[in-house]
């Protein structure tokens, strides 16, 4: 009996028990779809984080107040009362002390409500200096960016990110318009180009949902509260990626000195690089992917056991059919193949439908949960192969049971 | 008399079935039960033989051995000249496919398949090409008078019609032997008579038929009656018939 005939017989076997086959297939389907979505979620999340971190600018170190490396417990929580000041910023910017540092920007930021006419938008308002543009690797699409005069004169001006600009001024040209922040009217002097990485819908992580104001204006008129000289973070750009380590050491050394700290372990600031951020996030996402993938894999195994269970029931239930087929001349090998093909068909159909469901989920879910999911052809093909393998693997035992049945026992059973 | 073997294997002897001192012992744990205790039987090409015996006589075991569904514990069985007493499961399957057509009491049709697909089944295992299979299945169904029912599934056919489909399936491969195990056991008397008439026609057409039954009237349709009791063939067939009457 040819393979073609065997496959035809196997497919007929599956088709003649529609409901049961469908339920069996469902187990595989869910497992495969789960694997595809889990892998997609993991990859999507790490892709998003990486692009967000890259949007911070290239060769950038971020200095934040507080220490995470304390040996005596955390003395100061990250981002609490600032130990970083504008004078630290200017010291870091000195080319004599820090030859590897190209540009430095001190940043104070806060989430504020912006009002323009009847439109309002909640966004991250960042007080900074002109060097921010270079450090972050951004560009101005329209109008101009802050200049040193703005910082010096505490001018009431703002440069908007693309998302914020379109939220507040959907039709009009934003440049020259006025936005109110905490009752302070600011003139919009420019709009930034899109960072090209706003994959996310959440405002906290969208680099285009922001408003940039002079740091002095911010300290004096918008943010208030903390010391007017302090900054919430300092972004340091190295001259090149090769100078990143040098820049790190220079900044570390200088700040320790300025803060009068002799033991590096007592540092009241933390310097992070993009690479370390990416690494930390990647490892989190990796763990997440493994976790989700593991759960999906378990459900896939459960689906496989479902196939085996159904095939065993099928062998028992169709014992007369097996006996008859043997009486008519089916060899044990032919019977084994028939049941293996049936199990493989269940696995393959479940795999195909699972890939379909997984891809639909990849298309549809991001809109629902607000997180990107990438679709990976590798995962899809891999899932299909796994589904088929599960069908075959869990079909082997029931198939040999069927093959080794004695024809008389099979025929005799009522 | 010569055999015309479709497989081209040269005929060795005229006897289709030759059993020599065949025994069959079933062992369950320490208890062994002798179902056949030395059966010798020869059935010639073209004969119509009924094997008759009460339940527990060993006739089912004899049927299994004749049908190559089981092998004897000792003794020899030649089917169409071929020694099948010590064959492997795979070789036996091939012999069943080529040489034997079965008709069972329970019809044993596959419910998900139409009449012609059921008839086609043994040819699928014989490796007959698809187009030839359908043609031959239709022809066989015509011979049992079911040309108008070829696309019906077993559930849509009466018991008598189902058994005729089974007969068509048994004869479609042109086997050396048609083995019918209580073929009328599940039929009303009219359908039973139809099936027996069909068997008679097959005998007239030169087929070798072995009919296994416990029913004397059914056995009477055959040309020769062999009795079996307690695992042994009874010496005088006629005397056995009278004794059960």
- Which value does ipTM take for this structure? 0.88
Q: What is the pLDDT along chain B (245 residues), one digit of tens a residue?
A: 444 555 555 444 478 999 999 999 988 888 888 999 999 999 999 999 999 988 888 888 999 999 999 999 999 999 998 999 989 999 999 999 999 999 999 889 998 899 999 999 999 999 899 889 999 999 999 999 999 999 999 999 999 999 999 999 999 999 999 999 999 988 999 999 999 999 999 999 999 999 999 888 888 888 889 999 998 988 555 544 555 54
Residue among A12, A321, A329 minimizing CB distance to B94: A329
Mutate to test the interface with B, among A1, A324, A338 (most CBs of B within 10 A): A324
Neighbours of B91 (CB within 10 A): 14
Radius of gyration for chain A, computed over Cα atoms and rounded to the nearest angstrom: 32
| Residue pLDDT, tens place only, B172-227 | 999 999 999 999 988 999 999 999 999 999 999 999 999 999 888 888 888 889 99
> Nearest-CA residue of chain A relative to B110?
A321
Comparison of pLDDT for A202 and A128, the residue scoring more: A128
Give the sign of the dihedral formed by CA A351, CA A352, CA A356, CA A362. positive
Name the strand (E) or helix (H) holding A233. strand A233-238
| Residue pLDDT, tens place only, A54-79 | 766 678 888 888 765 544 444 444 44
Rounded average pLDDT over A3-13? 83
| Residue pLDDT, tens place only, A218-235 | 888 888 765 667 888 888
- Please indicate if any CB of chain A lies within 8 Å of the CB of B104: yes
Task: Confirm if B187 and B159 have CB atoms less than 8 A apart.
Answer: yes
Residue among A1, A12, A320 minimizing CB distance to B125: A1
Q: Could you tell me where the DSSP H helices lie in chain B? A: 59-66, 89-99, 115-126, 130-143, 159-171, 189-204, 216-219, 237-244
- Please indicate if any CB of chain B lies within 8 Å of the CB of A326: yes
- The C-alpha of A346 sits at a distance from chain B's nearest C-alpha, in angstroms, of 18
Does the pTM surpass 0.80? The reply is: no
| Residue pLDDT, tens place only, A125-178 | 998 988 888 888 888 888 899 888 888 888 889 999 888 888 888 878 888 888
> Nearest-CA residue of chain B relative to A410?
B69
CB pairs under 8 A between A and B: 62
CB-based burial label for A338 (10 Å; 0-12, 13-18, 19+): buried
Residue A328 to residue B169, Cβ atoms within 8 A: yes
- The C-alpha of B135 sits at a distance from chain A's nearest C-alpha, in angstroms, of 17
- Please indicate if any CB of chain A lies within 8 Å of the CB of B102: yes
Q: What is the pLDDT of residue B156?
A: 95
Query: Strand B224-229 relative to strand B232-233: parallel, antiparallel, unpaired?
Result: antiparallel
Write the Ramachandran bin of B219: left for phi over 0, alpha for psi from -120 to 50, otherwise beta: alpha
Contacts of B213 (CB under 8 A, 6+ apart): B50, B51, B52, B182, B184, B185, B219
The overall average pLDDT reported for chain A is 82
Q: What is the pLDDT of residue A81?
A: 53
């Amino acid at each position: 009996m040819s393979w073609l005939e065997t496959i035809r017989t196997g497919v007929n076997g599956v088709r003649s028990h529609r409901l049961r086959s469908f339920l069996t297939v469902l187990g595989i389907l869910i497992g495969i779809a789960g694997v595809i979505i889990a892998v997609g979620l993991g990859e999507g999340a790490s892709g998003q984080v990486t692009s967000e971190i890259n949007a911070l600018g290239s060769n950038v170190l971020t200095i934040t107040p507080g220490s995470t490396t304390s040996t005596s417990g955390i003395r100061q929580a990250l981002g609490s009362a600032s130990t970083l000041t504008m004078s630290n910023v200017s010291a870091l910017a000195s080319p004599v002390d820090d030859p590897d540092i190209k540009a430095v920007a001190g940043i104070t930021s806060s989430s504020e409500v912006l009002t323009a006419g009847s439109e309002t938008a909640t966004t991250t308002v960042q007080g900074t200096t002109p060097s921010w543009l270079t450090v972050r690797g951004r560009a101005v699409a329209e109008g101009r960016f802050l200049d040193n005069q703005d910082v010096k004169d505490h001018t009431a001006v703002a440069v908007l990110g693309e998302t914020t600009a379109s939220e507040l001024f959907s039709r009009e040209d934003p440049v020259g318009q006025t936005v109110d922040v905490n009752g302070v009217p600011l003139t919009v002097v420019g709009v930034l180009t899109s960072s090209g990485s706003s994959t996310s819908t959440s405002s906290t992580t969208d680099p285009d949902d922001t408003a940039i104001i002079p740091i002095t204006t911010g300290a004096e008129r918008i943010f208030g509260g903390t010391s007017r000289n302090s900054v919430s973070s300092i972004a340091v750009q190295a001259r090149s990626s090769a100078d990143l380590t040098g820049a790190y050491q220079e900044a570390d050394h200088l700040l320790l000195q300025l803060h009068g700290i002799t033991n590096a372990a007592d540092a009241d600031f933390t310097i992070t690089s993009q690479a370390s951020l990416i690494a930390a996030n990647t490892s989190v996402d990796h763990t997440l992917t493994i976790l989700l993938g593991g759960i999906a894999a378990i459900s896939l195994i459960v689906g496989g056991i479902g196939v085996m269970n159904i095939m065993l029931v099928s062998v028992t239930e169709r014992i007369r059919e097996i006996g008859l087929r043997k009486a008519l001349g089916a060899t044990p090998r032919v019977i084994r193949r028939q049941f293996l093909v049936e199990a493989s068909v269940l696995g393959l159909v479940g795999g195909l439908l699972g890939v379909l469901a997984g891809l639909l989920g990849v298309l549809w879910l991001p809109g629902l949960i607000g997180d990107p999911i990438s679709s990976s052809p590798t995962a899809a093909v891999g899932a299909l192969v796994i589904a088929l393998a599960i069908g075959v693997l869990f079909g082997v035992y029931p198939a040999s049971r069927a093959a080794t049945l004695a024809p008389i026992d099979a025929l005799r059973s009522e | 008399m010569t055999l015309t073997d479709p497989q081209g294997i040269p005929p060795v002897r005229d006897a289709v079935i030759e059993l020599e001192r065949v025994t069959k012992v079933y062992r369950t744990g320490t208890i062994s039960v002798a179902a056949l205790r030395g059966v010798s039987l020869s059935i010639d090409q073209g004969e119509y033989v009924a094997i008759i015996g009460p339940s527990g006589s060993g006739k089912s075991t004899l049927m299994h051995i004749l049908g190559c569904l089981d092998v004897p514990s000792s003794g020899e069985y030649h089917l169409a000249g071929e020694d099948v007493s010590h064959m492997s499961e795979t070789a036996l399957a091939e012999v069943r496919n080529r040489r034997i057509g079965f008709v069972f009491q329970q019809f044993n049709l596959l419910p998900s398949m139409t009449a012609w697909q059921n008839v086609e089944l043994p040819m699928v295992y014989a490796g007959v090409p698809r187009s030839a299979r359908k043609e031959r299945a239709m022809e066989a169904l015509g011979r049992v008078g079911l040309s108008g029912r070829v696309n019906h599934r077993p559930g849509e056919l009466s018991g008598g019609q189902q058994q005729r489909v089974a007969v068509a399936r048994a004869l479609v491969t042109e086997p050396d032997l048609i083995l019918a195990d209580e073929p009328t056991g599940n039929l009303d008397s009219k359908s039973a008579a139809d099936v027996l008439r069909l068997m008679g026609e097959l005998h007239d057409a030169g087929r070798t038929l072995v009919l296994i039954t416990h029913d004397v009237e059914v056995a009477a349709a055959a040309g020769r009656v062999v009795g079996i009791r307690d695992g042994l063939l009874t010496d005088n067939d006629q005397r056995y018939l009278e004794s059960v009457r």
